[in-house]
Amino acid sequence: DFYDPGAVLPYEGRKFKVFHSNCYTLLQDWFKRETKVILPDFYPDAPDQFLRPGASKFLQNLHKNGFKKVDDQLRKHDLVLTSDDAAVAWHCSVVTSPAPVPTLLSIWVNKRSRFYAFRAVHKNVHSIWRHQKCS
């Protein structure tokens, strides 16, 4: 069980691993394969940074990398940032299908990556972002 940067892994069933198999690396793979957009790494400064108050690396960097915050209907390839009581937009998912039931792809700590209905996280949505090449 090792990291292979050249591997083409399935979207579903990936095991969470801090810093190399997480919600953002899954998103990077999706964008690279599905849209040909290469997203840079946004590593936290420390493994527990997501527990600290303040802007996340996502919020600091998305607009610098071709994303624009949107308030309209979900579209395929939209990036969805969610937050809870302990974090400020430190979790991301990608819209894989906007209709008839909006579907997202993501991975959580101690869980495997999977597709799920947007309604499962809609109450925790912090913001929705769209890449300029996916408009």
Q: What is the pLDDT of residue 132?
A: 96
69 or 4: which leads in pLDDT: 69
Is the pLDDT at 114 greater than 90? The verdict is yes
pLDDT of 115: 97
**Residue 16: Cβ-neighbour burial (10 angstroms; 0-12, 13-18, 19+):** middle
Structure confidence by residue, pLDDT tens digits, 10-65: 999 999 887 778 898 899 999 999 999 999 887 667 666 666 666 677 888 899 99
Distance CA 129, CA 25 (A): 17
What gap in Å lies between CA 37 and CA 29, rounded to an integer? 9
For 21-60, the DSSP string reads BSHHHHHHHHHHHHH-PPPPP---SSTTGGGSSS--HHHH
What percentage of the chain carries pLDDT values higher than 70?
84
Residue 135, pLDDT > 70, answer: yes
Using a 10 angstrom Cβ sphere, with 0-12 exposed, 13-18 middle and 19 or more buried, the burial of residue 70 is middle
pTM tops 0.85, yes or no: yes
CA dihedral 32, 78, 76, 134 (to 10 degrees): -60
CA 22 distance to own-chain centroid: 9
Residue given tokens 């579907």 in the structure block: 103
Instruction: Specify the residue for token string 């690279």.
Output: 32
What's the pLDDT score for residue 1? Answer: 57
Looking at the predicted structure, is the pLDDT value of residue 101 above 80?
A: yes
pLDDT band for position 5 (cuts 50, 70, 90) = low
